[in-house]
Amino acid sequence: MSALGSAPIPATPLPGVSYVMPVLNEVTHIRAAVASLLEQDYAGPMEVTLALGPSTDGTNDLVAQMCAEDPRIHSVDNPAAATPVGMNLAIMASSFPIVIRVDAHSVLPKDYASIAVETLLRTQADNVGGIMDAQGTTPFERAVARAYDTKVGLGGTPFHVGGKEGPVDTVYLGVFNRESLLKVGMFNEEIRRGQDWELNRRIRDAGGLVWFTPKLKVVYRPRTSVKALVKQMYSTGLWRGELSRRFGSGLRYFVPPMMVVATALGILAGVLGFTLGWVVPAVYVAFVLVSTVVYGRGMGAKGLGWFPLVLPCIHFAWGVGFIMSYTRLTSNIAGKSGR
């Protein structure tokens, strides 16, 4: 039993698993994402519950078809179109003692549930997670994926770049002891991004255990265009700034906003005639170019060409979003999910 006080999950017979997924405008990815759940090699019982937002691209019609094809697939309406609301609706509509959070942009390897359940039972953790293995198909997506998977892109947390098995602050997605999830109040529906970090914070504050294992890898499909990437990163930065303001956070979250401010001030100083002002922008450009040389190998010429654009998109969109919310320059971020 974890310090959170949740009863251990019996190992025999194999416990059932409930896959829960919020879905909004994912007609391109949803069938592959759900197929990866149905094809798991886990021998215990399973169910899939999809929380459907008001999609406009035909997603809900496709999901209705999938539900008719396989009785293990169910859906619930999520009119708020918010990820944490959808997660809670799907959790409450499911029934098994292990809850596996999945994303419509993710494809699970066949042994994901088997490894996750074994790890959950062995460690008696309240939440187990692994690596977000970003993989793209187009040159732009490959560049974004490489940025995600390196320290120069999203900062190098274990679920992006890997690491040793053990306790961590947070994990990607999550495989939960249902009882622990219910005890801490599930997902905070006011937080549209970073809700995993905030939930894991509450689990740890209650004495629970959040466990990372590099054996778990989830294929993640990056955004497909510059516009979509900037929107995603800006929204993520907004919510990270809000979470940092509310709960505090490590210094690494302040690196992108500090870089944005320093670069902007350097450009302003240079325009006003202070030659040294151009030093900071020049250093950042050099950083991007060196990072491209170091991390851009194996992407092909087109992917390599996108990489020096992708990095600033991530850094500046995320950093500006963080500044806007942390300093309360924007006071209303509700609804900015960035999906």
Instruction: Write the pLDDT tens digit of every residue in 18-65.
Output: 999 999 999 988 998 999 999 999 999 999 999 999 999 999 999 999
Give the residue-averaged pLDDT of 73-87.
94
Residue 202 has pLDDT above 50, yes or no: yes
- Residues 129 and 47 sit within 8 Å (Cβ to Cβ): no
Q: What is the pLDDT of residue 161?
A: 57
Give the residue-averaged pLDDT of 275-295.
91
Please state which architecture CATH assigns to domain 17-222.
Alpha-Beta Complex (3.90)
Q: What is the pLDDT of residue 151?
A: 81
Q: Is 71 left (phi over 0), alpha (psi -120 to 50) or beta?
A: alpha
- Give the start-to-end residue ranges of the domains of the chain: 17-222, 227-326
Q: What is the pLDDT of residue 56?
A: 93
- Residues 2 and 125 sit within 8 Å (Cβ to Cβ): yes
Backbone torsions φ then ψ of 332, nearest 5 degrees: -130, 105
Task: Extract the tokens encoding 100.
Answer: 């596996």
pTM for the predicted model, two decimal places: 0.81
For CA atoms 110, 186, 129, 127, give the dihedral sign.
negative
